[in-house]
Structure 1
Amino acid sequence: MSTRRSPLAMALLSLVCETPMHAYRMQQLIKERHKDDVVNVAQRNSVYQTIERLLRDGLIAVLETSREENRPERTVYEPTDAGRETLRQWMRTMVSTPAREFPEFPAALAFLPVLAPDEALEALQERIAALEARLSALGEELATTATFLPRVFLIETEYQQAAVSTELGFVRGLVADVRAGHIDWDYRL
């Protein structure tokens, strides 16, 4: 059976391959390790739904279920051999093959004439401020975590830093072009 690949499924499967654990611990580790910048675990329900899918598809198995005093029941999961192999296949594909993704910003740029030029400039300036803050936060995170984590665990943060820096340069250039009148706004929608 071919399980649908997703960043969350990859992350959860990777964690149980590291050591057997329960769902709450998986979500907690993703947040503690700042992997929630690249894997969406904001909704606990999505973690449980993904675990159910991995379980149903035979990529993980229940190791044990326990209950401690007044705490809720906890199910600990472990990878199956098929899960370990699937994870390796997913990783090879995710690292080697650029995915066709549909982020919001390029979609918004595709319909930029919906906004008046001054409105677009204001929104782009707000984006510049947000990108500058994000770039600063990523720099601080790298500086701090590099003191106790090997670089191999920080590569996604380095990638994010490069992507945010590139986007910031692009948006600054776009603002300059709009201000200089190099973009024809006669096609307002």
Structure 2
Amino acid sequence: MSPRRSPLAMALLSLVSEAPMHAYRMQQLIKERHKDDVVNVAQRNSVYQTIDRLLRDGLIAVRETSREENRPERTVYGLTDTGRATLRRWMLEMLSTRAREFPEFPAALAFLPVLPPEEARAALEERLTSLRARLSAMDTELAEAGRFLPRVFLVETEYQRAVIGAEIDYVRSLAGDLREDRVTWDHRP
């Protein structure tokens, strides 16, 4: 059976391909590098569960275990040859093949008539405000990071910026259509 691919598993394999490291350092680097915008590491437990899975699948191996005074035991993991080959395969698949994903926003759009049109419009306008704020923050982040990082380390942020820009255009248009009654429905409680 092929190891189960996930963005977090791919990120952890990528980090240990740089150098052997312990779980806390992996989570720390993901946050320091702002990759937590594309890889969910909010729950430390998910990092440890993914590491356990990568170990079981033979994609990483324990390199050393140590304990410093007054600190918990730390296990350092390294990439195996199988892990390196799997990381490469996953990257090629993730870059070349569109995944079937189920984000919340399109699901909510699919069931829009659950709400009265005016409530749906108000919610969309609220989303528009937060999207514009996020776009502005991304522009600042790209400008600042672009001064010292090569572009290759910013391409996921460029992509997210493009997606948010497109979403802003769509949400603005749909909210306008609701405001002008170009999209409407009978709402029954």
Identity %: 74
> 1:49 matched to which residue of 2?
49
Q: What pairs with 1:28-67 in structure 2 (closer than 5 Å)?
A: 28-67=28-67
**Runs (4+) off by over 3 Å:** none
Contact 2:67 2:74 in 1 (8 A): yes
Q: Distance in 2 between matches of 1:184 and 1:122?
A: 14
Residue by residue over 1:113-164, the C-alpha shift from the partner in whole angstroms, topping out at 9 and shown as x without a partner, is 1111111111011000000011011111111111111100100000000000
Q: What code does the residue aligned with 1:114 have? A: V
Cα distance change, pair 57–158 in 1 and its aligned pair in 2 (3 A): same
In structure 1, what is the equivalent of residue 162 of structure 2? 162
How far the C-alpha of 1:13 sits from its partner, in A, is 0.4
TM-score, reference length from structure 1:
0.98
Distance of 1:42 and 1:115 partners within structure 2: 31
Number of matched residues? 189
The letter for the 1-side match of 2:6 is S
SS in 2 for 1:55: helix
Instruction: Structure 1: state its 5+ residue gaps.
Output: none
- What SS is found at the alignment partner of 2:65? strand
Relative distance call for 1:93 and 1:75 in structure 2 (3 A) is: same
2 CA distance for matches of 1:19 and 1:141?
A: 27
- Cross-structure match for 1:102: 102
Amino acid at match of 1:63: R
Give the gaps of 5 or more residues in structure 2: none
Q: State whether structure 2 residue 131 is matched by structure 1 residue 128.
A: no
Q: What SS does structure 1 have at the residue aligned with 2:78?
A: strand
Q: Residue 25 of structure 1 aligns with which residue?
A: 25
| Structure 1 residue identity aligned to 2:95 | V
TM-score by length of 2: 0.98
TM-superposition CA deviations, 1:81-133 (whole Å, max 9, x none): 00000000000000000001000000000011111111111101100000001
Aligned counterpart, 1:148? 148
Is it true that 1:72 corresponds to 2:86 in the alignment? no
- C-alpha distance in 1 between matches for 2:188 and 2:60: 52
- Root-mean-square deviation (CA, aligned residues, Å) is 0.9
Q: Which amino acid aligns with 2:69?
A: E
Cα pair 2:116 2:187 within 8 Å, conserved: no
The structure-2 alpha-carbon separation of the partners of 1:188 and 1:168, relative to structure 1 and needing over 3 Å to count, comes to farther
- Partner in structure 2 of residue 175 of structure 1: 175
